Amino acid sequence: MIFDVDGTLVDSNDAHTRAWVQAFTEQGITVAYDSVRRAIGMGGDKLMPTVADISADSPEGEKIATRRSEIFQRDWLPRLRPFPRTRELAERLRRDGLTLAVASSAKEEELHLLLEVAQVADLIPTRTSSDDAERSKPDPDIVHAAIQRTGCSKNRIVMIGDTPYDVEAALRAGIRIIGVTCGGWKPEDLRGATAVYADVADLLDRYDTSLLADLAQARSSA
pLDDT in tens, the chain (222 residues): 999 999 999 999 999 999 999 999 999 999 999 999 999 999 899 999 999 999 999 999 999 999 999 999 999 999 999 999 999 999 999 999 999 999 998 888 899 999 999 999 999 988 888 778 888 899 999 999 999 999 999 999 999 999 999 999 999 999 999 999 999 999 999 999 999 999 999 999 999 999 999 888 877 666
98 and 169 fall within a common domain: yes
125 and 214 fall within a common domain: yes
In single-letter form, the type of residue at position 169 comes to A
Q: Tell me the C-alpha to C-alpha distance, in Å, between residue 52 and each of 33, 61, 99.
A: 12, 10, 39
67 and 156 fall within a common domain: no
d(CA 131, CA 210): 32
Determine contact, residues 124/90, Cβ cutoff 8 Å.
yes
The residue from 49, 79, 109 where one domain ends is 79
Nearest in space to 12 (alpha carbons), one of 87, 88, 115, 120: 115
Report pLDDT for 217: 81
Neighbours of 154 (CB within 10 A): 12
End-to-end Cα distance, the chain: 16
Q: Tell me the C-alpha to C-alpha distance, in Å, between residue 130 and each of 10, 74, 141, 156, 218.
A: 18, 21, 9, 24, 31
Determine contact, residues 86/180, Cβ cutoff 8 Å.
no
75 and 85 fall within a common domain: no
What CATH number does the domain containing 109 carry?
3.40.50.1000
Q: Whole-prediction pTM value? A: 0.94
Nearest in space to 100 (alpha carbons), one of 108, 111, 91, 109: 91
Q: What is the pLDDT of residues 45-74, one digit of tens each?
A: 999 999 999 999 999 999 999 999 999 999
Q: What is the pLDDT of residues 137-168, one digit of tens each?
A: 999 999 999 999 999 999 999 999 999 999 99
In single-letter form, the type of residue at position 122 comes to D
Helices 44-52 and 13-26 pack at an angle, to 10 degrees, of: 60
101 and 186 fall within a common domain: yes
Helices 59-71 and 44-52 pack at an angle, to 10 degrees, of: 110
Give the residue numbers spanning the domain of 187: 2-11+81-221
